[in-house]
Structures are given as C-alpha cells and as structure tokens.
Amino acid sequence: MRKKIIAGNWKMNKTPKEALELVKILKDKVDTDKSDVVFCVPFVDIIPVAEALKDTNIAVGAQNMCFEDSGAYTGEISADMLLDIGVKYVIIGHSERRQYFNETDKNVNKKVLKAIEKGLTPIVCVGETLEQREKCVTVDFVRIQVKSALKDVTAEQAGNIVIAYEPIWAIGTGVTATSEQAEEVCSAIRKVIAEIYDLDTADKIRIQYGGSVNGSNAGELFGMSDIDGGLVGGASLKEDFINIVNYQE
C-alpha cells in the first residue's frame, strides 16, 4: 500500500519572515500519519522553515537544483547544499521551469540522476499543454517525458521517486482535471513504469496529481487508485492546505 504524499509548491512566494508565519498556521494542523507532507519552499526560506519544522514530520523540499556537483555555475544551488540544510525532496522539471527557464527533458534527466545519486527524492513533473490534450496526444507526450526523465535510473531507484502529473492547462488556472482525466494519465504513467522496469516498481512509485487542487476537490482526486497525493501550488499558501492534507475520500 503506497502512502500518499502531498507537497506544497510555494513557487516564488513568501519572504523568510512570511514563510515562518505560514508554517506557524499550518504545521500543527496537517495530518502527517495518513500522508507524507512536504513544503517545497524558495531557497532562502529553507533554513528558517526547516528549523521551524524540526519537531514535526513535515519534510522540506526545494523547487529546483543544479545537475552539477559544484563549481563555476553562477546562481545555481547544488544537491549537497540542499542536503546540508535538511532538504529531503526536490521538484524537478516543473512546467514553469520548462516554459520560462528553458528546462529540457535532457536537463531534467541530469537533475533526476544527480538528486538520486545524492540521496534527495526527486518530484519529477510531467504534463501536457491544452493544445496537446485537444490533439489527443496527452498520453503519448507524457510517456515520452517519463521515459526521458528516467533514462539510466535503475528499477530500485525509480521505485523511490515521485512523479507529479501536472497538466499545464490546470496549473494556476482554477481549472482542475476531472478525477477521471487525472486517473487516466496517472494510470498510463504507472503502465509506462511497468514497461520500463517491472510491475513491482510500478506498484511502488508514487504518482501525484497537480493542477488547481483545493480542499474541495482533493478527496475525489486522491481517492483514485493511481493518484497517490498531490503537488499543490496556490492552495499550499493558504489555510486551505490543511483541508487538502486532511482530505476525506
């Protein structure tokens, strides 16, 4: 039985001071028994947030990292730096990074491999545009993204990562995929994992849905058999995140 994992992606929001105010509101109210809970915060918020969460079971995540170990990569943050300040998870290949910062499938794969090598759990984001959905190529496209993100990843490693299916048309738009639409693609992702590796790995890997999740739709989405929780943007910055984590099916 896979434990659900619900991660908040704070994106470029909250100064360290504001981050601590939000953590104070959320930290004692989210149920970490039913689901693993992760706050993926901006880099500068990681140290204070990790300190504020140290007596809880909520993990801290980053939203990006470099695929190199160290050196002349101005502006980048390495896996070792993240590990040293208590980070456990890292979002890789979010559609906003693909769209605005030229993140390619190849870079995503390099980052996934580096995160795994260092002991960080990648939350690998995949998902189609509205145009692709309308052309009925969603599953084909997402299969390619998954295969390319996991190139050279072993079955054992793959079983421990998290994949977030995030249709781009649903991110930050208030338009949520229906539970059937989300389940169809999450199930196709599990199928491609079984094809690349084996059924055991497909059964282990956790697949989140992301895209305008809120306290009212979380229960139905997370109740689908191939949806193992969510990656939550806008609503992770509000008290509604408590309703999402403490969802009822």
Positions that interact with ligand PEP (CB under 6 A):
9, 11, 166, 171-172, 210-213, 231-235
Shorter beta-carbon distance to ligand PEP: residue 82 or 171: 171
Q: State the catalytic residue, choosing from 76, 94, 131, 134.
A: 94
128 is catalytic: no
Q: Which is nearer to ligand PEP, 61 or 234 (CB)?
A: 234
Does residue 39 contact residue 61 with C-beta atoms inside 8 Å? Answer: yes
Q: Kindly state the smallest distance separating residue 84's Cβ from ligand PEP, in Å.
A: 26
CB of 168 to ligand PEP, least distance (A): 10
Give the nearer residue to ligand PEP in terms of CB position, either 201 or 229: 229
3-class SS letters over 34-71:
CEEEEEECCHHHHHHHHHHCCCCCCEEEECCCCCCCCC
Q: Determine contact, residues 90/123, Cβ cutoff 8 Å.
A: yes
Q: Min. distance of Cβ 170 from ligand PEP in angstroms?
A: 6
> By C-beta, is 122 or 210 nearer to ligand PEP?
210
In contact, 210 and 232? CB cutoff 8 Å: yes
Which has the closest alpha carbon to 242: 3, 20, 2, 6? 6
Shortest Cβ 236–ligand PEP spacing (Å): 7
Told to judge if 134 belongs to the known catalytic residues of this protein, a careful annotator would answer no
Options 18, 166, 195, 239, the catalytic residue = 166
Distance between CA 167 and CA 229 in Å, rounded? 15
- Rounded Cα gap, residues 234 and 240, in angstroms: 10
Question: Which residues does the annotation mark as catalytic?
Answer: 94, 166
